[in-house]
Structure 1
Amino acid sequence: MIINVNWSPLRDAMLEALDYDSKKSDDSCDEYCTRVMILFSFLLRSSLLEFAVRIWCFSILFALIFPRIFVSRAIRTMSKLRCFPRDSNFGAVVLLFLVVPTFVVGIYLHGQKITYFLRPLWESPPRPFKDIPHYYDENVSMENLCKLHGWGVRDVPRRVFDAVLFSNELDILAIRWHELYPYVSEFVLLESNSTFTGLQKPFFFAENRDQFEFVEPRLNYGTVGGRFVKGENPFVEESYQRVALDHLIRTSGIGDDDLLIMSDVDEIPSGHTINLLRWCDDIPEKLHLRLRNYLYSFEFLLDNKSWRASVHRYRAGKTRYAHYRQTDDILSDSGWHCSFCFRYISEFVFKMKAYSHVDRVRFAYYLNPSRIQDVICRGADLYDMLPEEYTFKEIVGKLGPIPHTYSAVHLPAYLLQNFDKYKYLLPGNCKREHG
């Protein structure tokens, strides 16, 4: 972060405060103290950060100028000392002009990091999930796969409804829908002309609907107007849109015991996972899906802790669309979560300003395209944040950029079949387009 400080007023004000000449020592003292007060009034005409920086600069100037004044005006300096409180000392001056401003600037710049690092002291980890082992091989029959999980097999598979809120993730949506197409009976998509933060946006899906003709016979598409309430918590708008999606789901023809996938567009269940759940009997009423957690592309595997995606056996009047924890049961290795996986730098900027955690954009330079490109290729954090973990061991273990992975095994088939189009999502291709 670069802070521009105008040194001239600081220097002039300081020299004016220190450079005085009067015949009477009492008058000199009064005039000197008055000018010092003028200097401090200049320092106080600023915000908290500007005040701290000005104090910091003032202390540096004081250190540079004081020797010259002391040598050339030693005698008069002795008389000036009467202007300072008798109990003042050098340590207090250092504390006021160096330590305190440095502390204020440090807290302003890195306070969020300090808070996240100390998170284990004030927040306990959530209760652990009950992981269900996931068995799959394309050469194993569905009957045996269901038995491996302790479930029975159905004579007829359940219908599956895939419901998402859409913002602007066109490429990821195409990969998702091609992955799930053989198993989904109805695709439900809701789009708003407002971001969660209240910014107006186009109906991106409507403008590009011709790219998704393959799902048209099974598509239930709806729109909802934004509320555009300034200063409102973004999670309020997000909740409003999820309620609207819940209504759209009920109009799509879903019935009891149909499967409903609840997840964001970039949380992609694998096709064989959904096929397993639609064919097996006695599966849990609600089941979270543990997904491989990727950032920027499938080159940066963060962890295997993505859990918000879920599948529900629909119950009329009871099932509500949600994106929070709803059960303890979770099926391991069930797909992919590719967060901030965009083709264009402009899409990164849009999401950083649009989604619920906009408060993480603490400085304007976070949105600089050159910085974003550098962060992507390093696998670093766009918001310069520490890992969101609950133990010091996990925080320390995740410090620094995400290690590169060069395995493209077990990724969505449509992605690999169209590698020329989606090359930027594959390992070794971190450069983004400026569109």
Structure 2
Amino acid sequence: MTAATQPVTVEDAGALAGLTYAWEVESAPDPSPMAGPSWLRASDGIDPRMPPYRYLLARPGNGHLAALPLHVVRAATTPDADPRSYFGGTMEANAGQVCCGSQQASPAAEVLAGLDAADVFPALVLGSLPGYKTEILHSYWTPALAADLLDAAVDYARTQGIATIVAPFVADRGSGKALGRELRRRGAVASFWATEDYLPLRHGSLAAHVAAMRHRDRYRYREDTGAAATLGLDVRTLTTAELREHLSRIGTLEAATRRRYGQDVADDEAPQILARLLELGVPLLAVGGFRDGQLLACCVSLEKGDRLYAKYAGFDYDTLGTRSGAYFAVVMYGTLAAAYDRKARVVEYGIGGHRAKALRGCHPRDVTSYLFTGQPHVRDSFSAAAAINTPHRRAEYASP
């Protein structure tokens, strides 16, 4: 529906504390669950380096609302909270770490190295930092909604002495399209960040899905699932009780996998968030690869409406090896089979491993980072960095 927008306010996290996940599913089905209040509540305070969140909030009446999460970042406590990370820059304090699992250093880092911390911070980050999503939670829509929220963000930044505004995870879908359009219209510096992958489910079952594949894709499917069989893995969907039982093991596998790609994460981060999500009534789907009763590979997804959003994947590399092929059997096909069983229409596989996902039928979607600043020399530095970083990142995420 459409509704007239009201003035946008900036409110603390508690403003949406009364919203249930059922409300998110029924009234705001389009945004990712990682952009919504249930996810933000579940992840709040788990990583002490992550700044607290607030909302840009519009309430037009009749119970409708639109909200854009934001974080005020005062120092580069983690690469994810540093605007320079999204344009190829790195901070000495975070040397050896990466942002959101990016595996390659960018040549743009040298361009941004000339900026002082005072040129960048305090920074206003638009979106859900722990969810890697810059989306609007909305139960109504108007053509001016994205513009209204961004105008409010700029006004708020001015009152808070903000040096830079960054919208790091603007995907080319849903409200992201409107946000991207308005950010470009305002002259924000843009840099390609990543490709996220999704797979429409059009065939009713995994068996029908495989039957509809091209010959080479069916061959690849047999290779992938055959690799899991060679490893002796029993790939299956966990019950909720089994998920609870294996939370600690899932955390160990997931953290080890992220650390392998340069991220600094604690073993108990994912288990704490998943336990809170279960308490909040968020339906989770967990697929595991077991051998002799031991969980050696896993993928946990959040369910929202007719979409599944894969979030946590992990593997016992010491046991399976680094090129075992278990990833595809568990993350891709195990999740796909369970998604068909749940009558889902789309699996959102997210960022990472784009080439391999594309070879297995996934569709790509661009994720772009945008930055505002009132300081000409800072804008010039970020523009120069974006000109270097965008082709570098596109080469990293190029389709096969």
TM-score by length of 2: 0.25
Structure number with the bigger relative contact order (C-alpha 8 A, sep ≥ 6) is: 2
The structure where helix makes up a greater share of residues is 1
The structure where strand makes up a greater share of residues is 2
Greater Rg by CA: 1
